[in-house]
Structure 1
Amino acid sequence: MTTSLGSDRALDSPAWHSLHGEHARFAQVHGRAARYHSDVSPFHALADPDDPRSWDDLAALVAPVEPVVLAGFGERPGPGWQVAHSGAGVQLIDVALRAEPDPEAVVLTAEDVPEILDLIGRTQPGPYLRRTIELGTYLGLRHRGDLIAMAGERLRPPGFTEISAVCTDPAHRGRGLATRLIRAVAAGIRSRGETPFLHTGAANTGAIRLYEKLGFELRRTVDFTAYQRA
């Protein structure tokens, strides 16, 4: 259920609003369905999941055996589709975060992608692809030259930016690196007059407690569901 903080409907379908706004250059659109380029993000979006025409347009947009990832619709496949698998998550929004730049954080670039993918592979914060770095600013912290922590910007519905890919090398956890990067990424978001938000798994109670301690508040529960043709 959406709290009173969740009055902006753009956050109910952030991928759709991102693909029709700030991320239009990464979008493939067919009628009432949209998707990111497959090397940028795995997310798809529908104008209205209760409208069978949206699902028909989605079928025209993707290959017959291609997996489709949609968020926040409650595992409601349209005609001709079925749920492949689903995971429960939460969406949180900044209400009292102390945002501040970090003098040691470095802006990551395309040259850093091999290191980024290695860190993502070892920490599993969520999907990160070869061109995900193009979605926004990603910051990292290094130790003796090695990338040990990162966080950055992903979905950008109007007035908001999602903080994503928050991860720390296991050997360097417990030092507050994730907190520093979240605050630094949020500082950049706030400088544009936008509000940070983020997603995490519903079972990731440690991360949820950290985010709430930093000043985020639960906005709603959200499913991340993969669909396939029936």
Structure 2
Amino acid sequence: MADRDAAVLDDPVGESLRGHHAHLARRRGGAATYLPGVATFSAVSTDPDPGEWADLARLLGRGEFADLFSCPVLPPPDWEPVFVLDGLQLLWPDGGSPDRPAETDTGVVELGADDVPEMLDLVERTRPGPFWPRTRELGTYLGIRDGGRLVAMAGERLRPPGWTEISAVCTAPDARGRGHAARLVRALVARILARSERPFLHVAEANTGAIALYERLGFEVRRHVTFRGFRTP
């Protein structure tokens, strides 16, 4: 999918740390990472030299985890590989609109600081991806409750200029099959479009069920990505 406005999505972590999330960043030279407890994502420039990798290693500390997300360049050989995961980046089409007005859905609630323990518990049980005690500071998180219990949530993560990533889409095992994920994603899409930004998201290539859901909702695949994590020397 070609989209000339999507070039910033080639480096969504770096663009977020330099822009909307600058207040949540730690920085040294050309390297940057999120504050502890917010996210583990780190970024370097598009053509980093050895000094830049050294700056990132000093930011993170000796033997610490470096989540390079979809960074196209590899660190020096003394950085120990931790994981590699194939994925897809999907975009909301330019000019697209949700198939129904999700903001009128009274079952969707905004989650706040007091909800963090339940959010962490739900993430622990469903494993949608990285989520930490301060991750909710990246953007708005929405949830659905059943009998007062949080059974589904989704929220905003990376924020490159003009875009907002939808992430942490998860539903408790005993509450699946009720359309909760679709309701939450629609509600987030409506919010993002209302502030004249476009939604995008990432998904593991093996998660065919999630890919099918996002495509039914209107998202389109932009490109394949490879997520990588390392441990600093």
Map 1:128-139 onto structure 2 (within 5 A).
128-139=131-142
Q: What 5-or-longer segments of structure 1 have no aligned partner?
A: none
Deviations along 1:32-70, one digit per CA (max 9) or x if unpaired, are: 110001200111111125533331221221201111000
Aligned residue for 2:12?
Answer: 14
Aligned residue for 2:125?
Answer: 122
TM-score scaled by length of structure 1: 0.93
CA distance in 2: counterparts of 1:50 and 1:33, whole angstroms:
9
CA distance in 2: counterparts of 1:199 and 1:49, whole angstroms:
24
Asked if residue 178 in structure 1 is aligned to residue 181 in structure 2, the reply is: yes
Deviations along 1:81-136, one digit per CA (max 9) or x if unpaired, are: 24222111111001145163122211100100010111111111001100011111
User: Is the Cα–Cα contact under 8 Å of residues 46 and 73 in structure 2 kept in the other structure?
Assistant: no
1:100 counterpart letter in structure 2: A
Asked if residue 107 in structure 1 is aligned to residue 105 in structure 2, the reply is: no
Deviations along 1:164-183, one digit per CA (max 9) or x if unpaired, are: 11011111111111000000
User: Is the Cα–Cα contact under 8 Å of residues 31 and 53 in structure 2 kept in the other structure?
Assistant: yes
CA distance in 2: counterparts of 1:97 and 1:45, whole angstroms:
32
CA distance in 2: counterparts of 1:155 and 1:70, whole angstroms:
13
Shift of 1:213: 1.1
User: Is the Cα–Cα contact under 8 Å of residues 6 and 219 in structure 1 kept in the other structure?
Assistant: no
User: Is the Cα–Cα contact under 8 Å of residues 32 and 48 in structure 1 kept in the other structure?
Assistant: no
Shift of 1:194: 0.3
Which sits farther off after the overlay, 55-64 or 199-208? Answer: 55-64
CA distance in 2: counterparts of 1:82 and 1:74, whole angstroms:
17
Asked if residue 228 in structure 1 is aligned to residue 228 in structure 2, the reply is: no
CA distance in 2: counterparts of 1:7 and 1:159, whole angstroms:
9
Deviations along 1:147-173, one digit per CA (max 9) or x if unpaired, are: 011111000000000001101111111
Asked if residue 24 in structure 1 is aligned to residue 22 in structure 2, the reply is: yes
TM-score scaled by length of structure 2: 0.92
Identity of aligned residues (%): 50
1:41 counterpart letter in structure 2: A
Aligned length: 228
> SS of the residue aligned with 1:54?
helix
Asked if residue 202 in structure 1 is aligned to residue 200 in structure 2, the reply is: no
Aligned residue for 1:218?
Answer: 221
Asked if residue 163 in structure 1 is aligned to residue 136 in structure 2, the reply is: no
Q: 1:88 to 1:6 in 2, by over 3 A?
A: farther
Aligned residue for 1:51?
Answer: 49
Q: What 5-or-longer segments of structure 2 have no aligned partner?
A: none
Aligned residue for 1:84?
Answer: 82
Shift of 1:186: 1.1
CA distance in 2: counterparts of 1:146 and 1:6, whole angstroms:
43
1:224 counterpart letter in structure 2: F
Deviations along 1:185-228, one digit per CA (max 9) or x if unpaired, are: 11111111000000111100110011111110111111221112
CA distance in 2: counterparts of 1:186 and 1:110, whole angstroms:
22
What value does the CA root-mean-square deviation take over the aligned residues?
1.6
